[in-house]
Amino acid sequence: KLLSLGSLRKELADSLSACRVLVVGAGGIGCELLKNVVLTGFKNIEVIDLDIIDVSNLNRQFLFQKKHVGKSKAQVAKESVLQFCPTANITAYHDSIMNPDYNVEFFRSFMLVMNALDNRAARNHVNRMCLAADIPLIESGTAGYLGQVTVIKKGLTECYECQPKPTQKTFPGCTIRNTPSEPIHCIVWAKYLFNQLFGEEDADQEVSPDTADPELSWNPADTEARATASDQDGDIKRVSTKDWARSTGYDPVKLFNKLFKDDIQYLLTMDKLWKKRKAPLPLDWLTHQKLGKILEVTGTGLKDQQVLGVAGYCQLFSRSVETLRSMLADKGDGAELVWDKDDPPAMDFVTAAANLRMYIFSMKMKSRFDIKSMAGNIIPAIATTNAVIAGLIVLEALKILSGDVEQCRTIFLNKQPNPRKKLLVPCALDPPSANCYVCASKPEVTVKLDVHKTLVLALQDKILKEKFGMVAPDVQIEDGKGTILISSEEGETEANNCKFLSDFGIRNGSRLQVDDFLQDYTLLVNVIHCEDLEKDVEFEVVGDAPDKAPTRSQEEGKNVANGNKDSAEPSTSSKAPAEQNDVLIVDSDEEELSSSTMDVRMESGGHKRKLHDAETGEASAKRQRLSQPSADDDDDIIVLD
């Protein structure tokens, strides 16, 4: 007869108390997971989280109380969990898991890693570290009522990056600056404006009218000439938005009239833009100031769910500018503010600026709650979902520690029962993808770019770090000389940053060997020179076309690519609107089906989808379709927990 300790066999209970495990993230899922881990019998636990506790966390992250606001999540979580099991040995790190201190040897010291993260960059990094250390990783994520847990084991299962992922949704600059047509365009513009005025200026986040808009010309030659002219100073001394704002003393009235009157009047002179669109309506501060005492309010309920009138948003804009001006002054010369959805003045500013722009372009204005959800890329987190997913993580961990990795499953939590009355649907884990540029035996990718226009710095930051998830890449050109293009050692190759790839002899067919020693990861990059990329597209990864769907015949029996660019969403249907890809309904519970050969249908209208990454943990699954009632479409939102 087997000896048991509680509900566990003695051998397994002993294994739990002896093994070291790492929990990455102490937020919504992390709080539930840490509680489960200590109560299950794990004794040696390390937890890492860079975040501090915010008041908005308290409704679901039960290890935290109001007195903890502003403190380290990892440290407070440790202290709270020790009340459940004082004998546990818990180490807390208030740090980023991407810190070089947490190298491959650090990961090798654990028998198991459990992810409870909320961003893709960290997920990619932990995936690679666990592959390099050859230890099992349990990945997880939630999106509202939906959730997922999966197991990643080197050589046995797909890794987190085996399937292409959707990237953050981006919009053409001319749409944001000249012709917004959706509330999200105005919200993105308002966030850009915050950075231009109070934060770190970014040339890609310009908010003034775009005179290089291709719609202003009817032939390519005119478009090219206009674009070239916009980059030249001529007789005009160009001043940055921040410098101009400083010169006014951040005067709210001058800012208002410049942004919502003068710039709009300038847009109206671009008459070709308005031949088939409704022209914008400039606002005047004095006109609406007279209406200031008449504050129209629509909507009932909480204050954040109400929509003010134009006069109300004029006043909110003025107050928020004055507050942010004071905050900037308190930080001293050269200081910058960082936009945070949980910072009231910053949120007031974006709410006011976005709504005023919506009004100008004849859109229905949004409540502060709605704008916060869209600007912060949030799907409301639900404590119960986090609790269920955390429980499933521990169940998969017990299988791994029992030596039954083959019995592990990808498990989906659905919003509604499937035809078999199941909310939890397990499916078999997929084997590694032979074409994965992370876990294949010899990772290799092909990138299209213009070698005469692509800077070395862009290769490093936008391609290697942002696209391919590296932390500290070293790049060597395979030119027979071993030319070092990029070095992770500070100061060694910084002089190369502002040079073009062609300056180093890189041309069509060149090959670059890229190494990230922190991740113990090597990638071979094949370069294809291309001068006719689409407007605003700096590079393309060949074969990485997540927004192009395979045909039905191609889908059968094959893995479905799960992804699209920081971020449009994943799709297995080319006709589905991109903004409806955040959630899925799983309809089958047959374990013999793999996680990449089952059909899914979106709850928001019946389009086939795969469980999207953002912060959901991104499944690579298809599921049998089941019609569901239409849900409201939340523009461009990404999951929080």
Residue 59 assigned as binding residue: yes
DSSP state of 571: -
Residue 159 assigned as binding residue: yes
Diameter of the chain by CA atoms? 91
Residue 99 assigned as binding residue: no
Residue 97 assigned as binding residue: yes
Q: Where are the alpha helices (DSSP H) in 499-562?
A: 552-555
Residue 103 assigned as binding residue: no
Of 174, 314, 408, 427, the catalytic one is 174
Q: How many CB atoms lie within 10 A of CB 591?
A: 12
Residue 502 assigned as binding residue: no
Q: Which residues pair with residue 137 across a beta bridge?
A: 113, 152
State how far the Cα of 46 lies from the Cα of 34, in Å rounded to an integer: 10
Residue 636 assigned as binding residue: no
Residue 119 assigned as binding residue: yes
Residue 118 assigned as binding residue: yes
Angle between helices 28-40 and 73-81 (to 10 degrees): 30
Catalytic site includes residue 174 = yes
Residue-wise over 377-412: b if at least 16 C-beta within 10 A, else e? Answer: bbbbbbbebbbbbbebbbebbebbbeeebeebbbbb
Residue 89 assigned as binding residue: no
Helix (H, G, I), strand (E, B) or coil at 478: coil
Angle between helices 368-375 and 344-360 (to 10 degrees): 100
**What is the DSSP track for 113-176?**
EEE--S-HHHHHHHHHHHHHHT--EEEEEEETTEEEEEEE-TTTS--TTSS--PPPP---HHHH
Residue 575 assigned as binding residue: no
State how far the Cα of 83 lies from the Cα of 222, in Å rounded to an integer: 70
Q: How many CB atoms lie within 10 A of CB 621?
A: 30
Q: Are 517 and 544 in contact (CB under 8 A)?
A: no
Tokens of residue 18, six digits: 């002896």
Angle between helices 310-331 and 344-360 (to 10 degrees): 140
State how far the Cα of 134 lies from the Cα of 155, in Å rounded to an integer: 9
Q: Which of 241, 231, 246, 277 minimizes the C-alpha distance to 262?
A: 241
Q: How many CB atoms lie within 10 A of CB 489?
A: 9
Q: Which of 150, 78, 58 minimizes the C-alpha distance to 381?
A: 58
Q: Are 285 and 253 in contact (CB under 8 A)?
A: yes
Residue 120 assigned as binding residue: yes
Residue 27 assigned as binding residue: yes
Tokens of residue 23, six digits: 């929990």
Residue 26 assigned as binding residue: yes
Residue 49 assigned as binding residue: yes
Residue 286 assigned as binding residue: no
Amino acid occupying residue 451? V
Q: Where are the alpha helices (DSSP H) in 19-103?
A: 28-40, 73-81
Residue 124 assigned as binding residue: no
Q: Which residues pair with residue 410 across a beta bridge?
A: 427
Tokens of residue 296, six digits: 């129209």
Amino acid occupying residue 559? N
DSSP state of 630: -
Q: How many CB atoms lie within 10 A of CB 504?
A: 18
Helix (H, G, I), strand (E, B) or coil at 432: coil
Residue 73 assigned as binding residue: yes
Helix (H, G, I), strand (E, B) or coil at 187: helix
Q: Which residues pair with residue 428 across a beta bridge?
A: 409, 594
Q: Which of 429, 425, 400 minimizes the C-alpha distance to 414?
A: 425
Residue 379 assigned as binding residue: no
Residue 29 assigned as binding residue: yes
Q: Are 205 and 196 in contact (CB under 8 A)?
A: yes
Residue 325 assigned as binding residue: no
Residue 115 assigned as binding residue: no
Q: Are 114 and 138 in contact (CB under 8 A)?
A: yes
Binding residues for ATP: 25-30, 49, 57-60, 73, 96-97, 118-123
Catalytic center residues: 174
Binding residues: 25-30, 49, 57-60, 73, 96-97, 118-123, 159, 162, 436, 439
Binding residues for Zn(2+): 159, 162, 436, 439
